[in-house]
Structure 1
């Protein structure tokens, strides 16, 4: 029989909560029973697990967990809570004698007065706890959480509505979320090397959990940039290989490459296998089925645009195309030209690359920016190919636009050929015209700088070049 546990979450990135829980449960083979009516707008969730050890494991790895309690009761009133607590006396009867304890009464969206906190604690006197009250280092801690409606944006007295809660939860504290402090550990502001496109720590950690990063896993970031995703995946024990078309992002300006310096700061330098400069569409991989996961935040043009090798316009007549080994007249190394890499084409190519490079069961985790008013579920589905299935799609909402953390699993055990990275041409039978679906992330950069305003002219700057 499964036991019930009260999970209290940090009320941020609500849509990432369930995918993270399920990912870590899969990583550690934990049987988890979620409630049928999951409401991520609330920070409380009663979850069924096989053992208290499983609760500790989840709290040690999930970034969004604040507390986990052995669940005793919940109700709209304290009368309901007391009735359920009395019925579950077997849960606390073993702590009645010779066990020091304390009570914590707190609230979500509200501040409870000291007077009423004391009244709440005294209302549990029927538990007849005989142990010593120890507010500093007790053997056990009982926690009572009152949930209030969100009244942000309204003017009110500090204690207005005290006691008019939506619901109250009660249980025994098992553990705090020990993974959550990692958000401060990997804070970009404290990092020895970062750039204007460095991913914030909390999101980086959530992405790493989606990859199931663990000791012995080999993970690849094809747009590694300044390495934000490399440090967190390496922290969880995985080996990391990174590449980027622009080596300056990885190196920085000092003798020791910037990513190496930051990795040493976090004590994970030995887990960064290598960092190479190449265009992902001209990659050097000679075989597939190599990586356990691919994690990346592709550039989408707001602070840095995606590039691939090639020219924006054909070379002028009479000019011979140079190779990477040819020297210019001034003896400087030849730097190959690049052209913009349109986001929708990049996303499709990335999935094809992942299908080729991932082991069976491996995951591709990446961010996809979308226009809020234009997004449809089919936008993601049309990017998929045979052998690749979406298992999570979480939105980080910025209003008129948002970015979606997409997690795709390779479900096939086939070995797929290396993608050609050539544009896909829709096939038609000649009788029915092929209508191409235009996803919300197509030409995202141009839409962003246009303020997401719709107009009749659909010509983009890239098309005008």
Structure 2
């Protein structure tokens, strides 16, 4: 099959990362839905093979590929399709009848060019590499200049042997021309190892960037993290261009001062300054308190699980403590199930229609079933990606989209079961409390405090 042109589509080979396997296609689908990219799958991605063949069918497929590569963290590169076969000889036989067509189509006369080779699953000997290049030597153009390091056009032969394979012959051979490199290097820029301000629950940079993609954070959008902590998720959302707001109930982590009254040298906003990103608005507030007059395009968060951070909420009925901080609200323990009810009720009220909520749900692997997922009538499940933490514990990145405005009587529901309310081997016997409209509309003194001068 020859390369397609704009208007009739563009067939591509996509090289995905071979980790976070459960997240790869959901991230790709989130990005393509954000940009309205149309595509068809010719050869699907599998857990064993990080290569997929897709046909981009939009009016400007090359622009569509560029948009996808500008966002996807779990893609290495995208190649314009030339051929695929069971061996290099099979690929060469497919290319030979249309050698002139391929050469002219991929390599304009003014271009510099090169051939390269990529293997997955095992290394190739120099003899095998030379043999591969020789079998495709008839595609070398009679024009242009060879530039092995910086060629404008790069033919790539990809050998797939299978992961950690002992096979001497490849299971699949692909040939394509490099179109774009995606964002695989971005997590290294934002790695936690370089952050000036960290906490024990700071989200991994790569996962934070993926979460931003799942929530479709972008220029012109508004993103909220109601469990902002050290702000790692909002760093990623801000990188993607979203205007961000963060709130947290723990004043000890987001406050400008330590518990001893000493002003912090570094705080939640330090990381944004470090990366030259716009500062978000940070507030001290409980998620269940309605302080919002507008709506958000995305809510992206990592709620506490009760391991390194307690699952808690404001106890609005508690007596005010005496002393130097009379407005400090009392906190009370709650369950993960209650937290999920509040989170989904909040999202149903405060997301725009079409907006997304992205959050982590902790699970005990042995007990998890899909029935444990929280639900809300105004929200639809988009994706459910699993990350293993230990043999016992894991967590699921849940992405939901608001499909309509919430109406009276709509309530979030959970099957408060073994898979998360026993998380951390802590059994809580706290009944699930429905979130009422009156509760969301009440703001007690001291339950909200904005921190603009951090």
CA distance in 2, matches of 1:419, 1:353: 12
Residue of structure 2 equivalent to 1:429:
none
The answer to whether the Cα contact below 8 Å between 1:293 and 1:364 also exists between their aligned partners in 2 is yes
Whether 1:214 and 2:211 are equivalent positions in the alignment is no
Whether 1:3 and 2:10 are equivalent positions in the alignment is yes
CA distance in 2, matches of 1:98, 1:185: 35
CA distance in 2, matches of 1:418, 1:201: 39
Residue of structure 2 equivalent to 1:392:
383
The answer to whether the Cα contact below 8 Å between 1:72 and 1:88 also exists between their aligned partners in 2 is no
Residue of structure 1 equivalent to 2:76:
66
Query: Pick from 265, 273, 298: which aligns with 1:264?
Result: 273
CA distance in 2, matches of 1:189, 1:224: 19
Residue of structure 1 equivalent to 2:310:
305
Whether 1:374 and 2:367 are equivalent positions in the alignment is yes
The answer to whether the Cα contact below 8 Å between 2:159 and 2:174 also exists between their aligned partners in 1 is yes
Residue of structure 1 equivalent to 2:46:
39
CA distance in 2, matches of 1:440, 1:120: 51
Alignment of 1:49-448 (within 5 A): 49=56, 50=58, 51-89=61-99, 90-94=101-105, 95=107, 99-131=111-143, 132-151=145-164, 161=167, 163-177=168-182, 179-251=183-255, 253=258, 254-255=263-264, 258-270=267-279, 272=280, 274-281=281-288, 283-285=289-291, 287=293, 290-310=295-315, 322-323=319-320, 327-328=322-323, 331-333=324-326, 335-380=328-373, 383-398=374-389, 399-412=391-404, 414-416=405-407, 438=417, 440-446=419-425
The answer to whether the Cα contact below 8 Å between 1:343 and 1:443 also exists between their aligned partners in 2 is no
Cα distance, 1:193 vs structure 2: 0.6
TM-score (ref. length: structure 1):
0.82
Residue of structure 2 equivalent to 1:26:
33
Deviates more, 1:184-193 or 1:300-309: 300-309
CA distance in 1, matches of 2:273, 2:71: 22
5+ residue gaps, structure 1: 153-159, 315-320, 427-435, 448-459
Residue of structure 2 equivalent to 1:156:
none
Measured against aligned partners, the alpha-carbon deviations of 1:142-186 in whole angstroms (never above 9, x if no partner) come to: 10111112238xxxxxxx64x422111111111211x22210111
Measured against aligned partners, the alpha-carbon deviations of 1:363-394 in whole angstroms (never above 9, x if no partner) come to: 000011112221112221xx212111001111
Residue of structure 1 equivalent to 2:436:
none
Give RMSD over aligned pairs: 2.6
5+ residue gaps, structure 2: 1-7, 431-454
Residue of structure 1 equivalent to 2:445:
none
Measured against aligned partners, the alpha-carbon deviations of 1:102-126 in whole angstroms (never above 9, x if no partner) come to: 1111211211122221211111022
